[in-house]
Structure 1
Amino acid sequence: MSLEKDVMTQMKAAMKAKDSTALEALRAIKGAILLAKTENSQQDLSEEEEIKIVQKLVKQRKDSAALYKEQNREDLVEPEIKQAEVIAQFLPEQLSEAEIAIKVEAIINESGAEGMKDMGKVMGLASKELAGKADGKTISIVVKNKLSK
């Protein structure tokens, strides 16, 4: 089932349950998908494009929650976190840091990277391989740790 159809199904369920937080998050996904379709003049988005859209939305919610927390706006933190959780359910299962480290180690060995000068090359390969399974910030931290040793 495509992401768009899945979101629509979930939206109907959220409307029936009168879950405004979930409904708002699902509408954000639907809006982002429609925007991406009109920008690219495409009928359907690839799975990779859908994952990128969902990752971006989750990151936006988490960043907003962190900003609100920093400004002591606890009343706004909770809805952002809940929306991020609703949106994140459309992502593939996320890898743990240990699993990411194993994959990054293999990429470093395959590419012959020898230190921080090769970080860009390793990040490019790791980002492609781990797309949707890990966020870029975590990948970057693991790559830095592995290459600085």
Structure 2
Amino acid sequence: MPVLKKQITEAMKAAMRAKDKALLGTIRLILAEIKRIEVDERIELDDQRIITVLDKMSKQRRDSISQYDKANRTDLADIERQELEVIKTYLPQSLNDEEIQTALEEAIVATGASGAQDMGKVMAELKPKLQGRADMGMVSKLVKERLTR
């Protein structure tokens, strides 16, 4: 069993013992999504793929929060924020802007990218390194800006 999945399962057991319904509900959502993918694809997810799932779930929560805030539904936005905080605990530590820029420059050098047409190569180089540690939408914008200069 992958380390991250084991860690999440242990957290679920601890939340059950502590009778923390909010935490338990979020952890069950995470495990259900992992299990859904494993059943659909008939594989056991490794830690990197679990991070990808968690990253997608956190993006969904951020989108929901912004939608609920626009609709003045702070009650629902607060629930999403709580879920996002739980999901973030299982993601690797986020990179700061300087670390992202450094990784971006290294990827451009490694791929020999010279223009916007090489954006796919650069993103392919960056994604495994930054997935779950940076907003990939923001990284994509940075790559595009850098390659069109």
- TM-score, L = length of structure 1: 0.88
**Which residue does 1:63 correspond to in 2?**
63
Question: How is 1:70-109 mapped onto 2 (pairs within 5 angstroms)?
Answer: 70-109=70-109
Indicate yes or no: 2:139 matched with 1:143. no
Alpha-carbon distance between aligned partners in 1 of 2:4 and 2:112, rounded to the nearest angstrom: 38
**What amino acid does structure 1 have at the position aligned with 2:33?**
A
- What RMSD, in angstroms, separates the aligned Cα atoms of the two structures? 1.7
Alpha-carbon distance between aligned partners in 2 of 1:75 and 1:11, rounded to the nearest angstrom: 24
Q: Which sections of structure 1, spanning at least 5 residues, go unmatched?
A: none
SS in 1 for 2:92: coil
**Which residue does 2:127 correspond to in 1?**
127
Q: Percent identity?
A: 37
Range 29-38 or range 111-120, more displaced: 111-120
- TM-score, L = length of structure 2: 0.88
Aligned length: 148
Question: How far off is 1:74 after superposition?
Answer: 0.8
Q: Which sections of structure 2, spanning at least 5 residues, go unmatched?
A: none
Alpha-carbon distance between aligned partners in 1 of 2:139 and 2:46, rounded to the nearest angstrom: 23
Alpha-carbon distance between aligned partners in 2 of 1:104 and 1:119, rounded to the nearest angstrom: 11
**What amino acid does structure 2 have at the position aligned with 1:7?**
I
After TM superposition, where is structure 1 displaced by more than 6 Å over at least 4 residues in a row? none
